[in-house]
Structure 1
Amino acid sequence: MTDLKKAYLEGTLIPFIGSGLSVPFGAPTWSVLAEKLIDECVNDNDSKNYFKNVILKKENDCIKVLDLIVKGNHLTQNMLNQKIKQIIETSINKKVDKNKHNYFDLAELMCACTLTTNYDSLYYFQLQKVCPSEAKIPQDFGKLMSNTQNFTKSDEIKVFNLHGMLEDETTLVTTSDTYINLYENETYKARLNTLFSNNTFLFLGFSFNDIYLKNYVAKYLKINNGIHYILLPETDKEKASELISLGLKTIYYKDAKGHAEGIREVLLDLKSSKKKS
């Protein structure tokens, strides 16, 4: 935690939020989302059984399910994105006690820049409660015009959605084609490279079952050779060797009382380092 605390005190810590942190609000995980799409959009039972029992359960490949839904003419890309938006928005309950999630704890760190692969704006809603005057409306990272070198050097607190936002479903990155189009974009790659090379990332709510995201993150970590961290429950230590091979340092939290409580302990310890300095 020493290097992580140092980055926090120096203002170069960037929280990187995955879908796990939105789950307490009712947001579906990728596997739940994929299964709902299969049930609602795939009509023939043979395809439905293959998608669920082979691709989801055996291969654990949610993106492949979405690819096949589009390529099998069950839905167009636009229709798929609209359906995903509908499922997420109808699942989310914003009125969740702050002790049952970690967005409020994260907001209290007041990090100048936060990235998320989530489509929702749940973290921003908590930022508004903690620092309403500094919190800036979330932006789609793919549409930025700013210089990323200044992201952590500002009095504003910014949130960037890497894979699009629910407010505009056309921006959602949901299939392999949309992933490739985004991550092979030279401007997008340059922006991410700048952030990885100049800052310390703390990954929260990630399992890295998403093969595309995992591969792209591995590339950026290899190129930049920086020190970056991921929070994992202590009951998931089997995952450590895989993530270490990616180039991430693992910080374990105690999850006996639940994920939210365990993550909160780590974030409070991080926050306390500013009081001691």
Structure 2
Amino acid sequence: MPSSSSEIKATLRVIKSEVRTLDANVDEKLKNYKTDNKDAIDNIARSYKSNNLVLVLGAGVSKDFGIPSWNVLLQKILNDTFQIETDNSEKGALVLAEIFTKVFPLSPLIAARYLEEYYENKGDKDFNEAVEEALYENFNLSSDSENFNEIAKLCETSEGSHRLDSVITYNYDNILEKAISSLPKKVSFRTIYKSDQIPESNELPIYHVHGFKPANSNKKSKITLSESIYHQQYRDIYSWDNITQINKFRDKTCLFIGISLTDPNLRRLLDVANIQRGKNNRKYHYIIRKRYDIDKIKNKIKTILDQNQELLNEKREANLELDDTTKHIINIMHNFEEKDALSLGTRTIWIDKYDEISDVIKEIRNKSEHESFA
């Protein structure tokens, strides 16, 4: 959502120019997006059946187990520094940190760079230790997640071999490995987080390309969180993690779950893979995304307009009611995100609730087992 008055005015100008087209198309698009999903699911099932599907997982899939997103993780670590710097109680530091990030919002990369340097200079705790503490502060492996259960089932073997080509995960945890180990059928897999780890032909590779830091384990590697590591990734295009991603993005069909496609290195690697695929390539990757909640966006818009009389008057002059404004802004944002994903060679599967991820995966598995593809 735009935050400043100028950004909102610019958005309203876009709405004014597109409103007639949107009036004709928005309801039809909202009605038909599930039909569009069917074609996407058929294509994913076809790739899954032919051992050509790569599962790409982001932080969103671990939320049910108390694992924080990247931004929340940084907020937790920042809380610790506020407690030290202000000599305040834990509760007081938490309030100060939350107020600070609202008044002076930081780029996550800038915040991570500050935190890395802070712990390096303070010496009371290693940055990686601080990350691990914050990462698993509310961790609960016993939480039941239907979405994650279905993700694990995609890793099951069929006729003696796994159907997935591989898994790429940007998560530091080993929740997926634990879930696969709990499956009724034994699945051979190999956790890979450095260059000298090579899977056997019968093993499902699980690539932790941003590092590996499981709870209560000595198996750990350097993690990708701060800006310095991102710059290192930019410089070293031939690192094992970059090469792994490029090869999979170029040669396979990928299904992105729990990912926003905002990571700068991921976008760069998708662009590189697209160039290598060639202009005439018609194969797509797929990303599962939740549609924006109409009521939440409406409340945000109402709050913004209530605080800005000039903007409220502009909206009235444009003959836009609140419901219409909300509908159009959401549709424009969906269009922006769809086009952005397509520019990276990725089609969007829209869902209304996060719980529907498991339904999509069930449908993929069911189609791959009971339908024959040409």
TM-score past 0.5 threshold: yes
Matches for 1:134-213 after TM superposition, within 5 Å: 134-140=187-193, 142-146=194-198, 154-167=201-214, 168-183=219-234, 184-188=236-240, 189-213=242-266
Aligned to 1:106: 151
Shift of 1:127: 0.8
Counterpart contact for 2:233–2:265, Cα < 8 Å: no
CA distance in 2, matches of 1:132, 1:275: 17
1:9 to 37, 49, 66: 49
Shift of 1:63: 1.9
Instruction: Using structure 1 for the length normalisation, give the TM-score.
Output: 0.82
Matches for 1:1-277 after TM superposition, within 5 Å: 1=40, 2-42=42-82, 43=85, 53-56=103-106, 61-71=107-117, 74-76=118-120, 79-99=126-146, 102-110=147-155, 111-130=164-183, 133-140=186-193, 142-146=194-198, 154-167=201-214, 168-183=219-234, 184-188=236-240, 189-224=242-277, 226-235=283-292, 237=334, 239-255=337-353, 259=354, 261-276=355-370, 277=372
Whichever residue aligns with residue 8 of structure 1, its letter is Y
Whichever residue aligns with residue 207 of structure 1, its letter is S
Question: Does the C-alpha gap of structure 1 residues 107 and 170 become closer, same or farther in structure 2, counting only changes over 3 Å?
Answer: closer
Counterpart contact for 1:112–1:155, Cα < 8 Å: no
Instruction: Using structure 2 for the length normalisation, give the TM-score.
Output: 0.62
Whichever residue aligns with residue 174 of structure 1, its letter is L
CA distance in 2, matches of 1:135, 1:217: 28
Shift of 1:113: 1.1
Number of equivalent positions: 258
Q: Secondary structure at the match of 1:118?
A: coil
Counterpart contact for 2:66–2:136, Cα < 8 Å: no
Shift of 1:12: 0.7
Question: Does the C-alpha gap of structure 1 residues 210 and 50 become closer, same or farther in structure 2, counting only changes over 3 Å?
Answer: farther
Instruction: Indicate the RMSD between aligned Cα atoms, in angstroms.
Output: 2.7
CA distance in 2, matches of 1:269, 1:98: 17
Shift of 1:176: 1.6
Whichever residue aligns with residue 80 of structure 2, its letter is E
Instruction: Name whichever of 119-128 and 35-44 sits farther off.
Output: 35-44
Q: Identity, % of aligned pairs? A: 19
1:101-137 superposed Cα distances (whole Å, 9 cap, x missing partner): x221012122241110000011111111226632324
Counterpart contact for 2:170–2:210, Cα < 8 Å: yes
Instruction: Name whichever of 212-221 and 126-135 sits farther off.
Output: 212-221
Whichever residue aligns with residue 162 of structure 1, its letter is V
Q: Secondary structure at the match of 1:202?
A: strand
Whichever residue aligns with residue 106 of structure 1, its letter is I
1:147-188 superposed Cα distances (whole Å, 9 cap, x missing partner): xxxx7x943223111111114554211112112324524142
Question: Does the C-alpha gap of structure 1 residues 122 and 66 become closer, same or farther in structure 2, counting only changes over 3 Å?
Answer: same
CA distance in 1, matches of 2:237, 2:285: 23
Question: Does the C-alpha gap of structure 1 residues 31 and 190 become closer, same or farther in structure 2, counting only changes over 3 Å?
Answer: closer
Whichever residue aligns with residue 131 of structure 2, its letter is I
Shift of 1:89: 2.0
CA distance in 1, matches of 2:275, 2:102: 34
* Higher gyration radius (CA): 2
Unaligned runs of 5+ in 1: none
